[in-house]
Amino acid sequence: MNRDEKTLILFKPDCVRKNLSGVILQRLLGEGFRLRGLKMMQLDDAILREHYAHIIDLVIDDKPLFPTLSAFMQTSPVVALVLSGPGVITRVRTILGPTNSMKADKGTIRGDYGTNSMLNICHASDSPESAEVEIKRFFKPEELFDNID
């Protein structure tokens, strides 16, 4: 838990449309994490296919999930950020609560602001390996600032 690491977080369209980006960022920074990169961007099919490749063929209730997820993720820009700190990946996921907002406790970000498994406010990396890949997917090296302490 003391190892300094980085994580990618996406404030999803429901977060942006509800004007919660500042509130969520403040909650995360209030935990002592360091901001290393921040930008707003409109996602397209190409980046979403890459980002959600692990579920591209997932079918739920006889319907493919990806087309619905992709359409949702393109309804507004997202806010992409990179945070660093000791144990940031696990700590952020704990602060967010479970992916399904309906199962998230009040006091977690998803429990306070989310609606369901898709409208769950944020995406966050789930491991150091995925964080490394995801950060490279959404940020160029010159968009990250490790020299701010």
pLDDT in tens, the chain (149 residues): 557 899 999 999 999 999 999 999 999 999 999 999 999 999 999 999 999 998 888 788 888 888 999 999 999 999 999 999 999 999 999 999 999 999 999 999 999 999 998 899 999 999 999 999 999 999 999 999 987 77
Quick one: how many helices (H) and strands (E) in the chain? 7, 6
Which of 15, 83, 123, 124 is the catalytic position? 123
Of 11, 5, 7, nearest to 123 (Cα)? 11
Q: What is the pLDDT of residue 17?
A: 96
Using DSSP's 3-state secondary structure scheme, residue 23 falls into: helix
In one letter, which amino acid is 140? K
Domains in the chain (CATH in brackets) are 4-143 (3.30.70.141)
Radius of gyration in angstroms for the set of CA atoms belonging to the chain, rounded to a whole number:
15
Q: What is the pLDDT of residue 54?
A: 87
Q: What is the pLDDT of residue 57?
A: 80
Q: Is 123 a catalytic residue?
A: yes
Beta-carbon-side half-sphere exposure of residue 146 (alpha carbons within 13 Å): 7
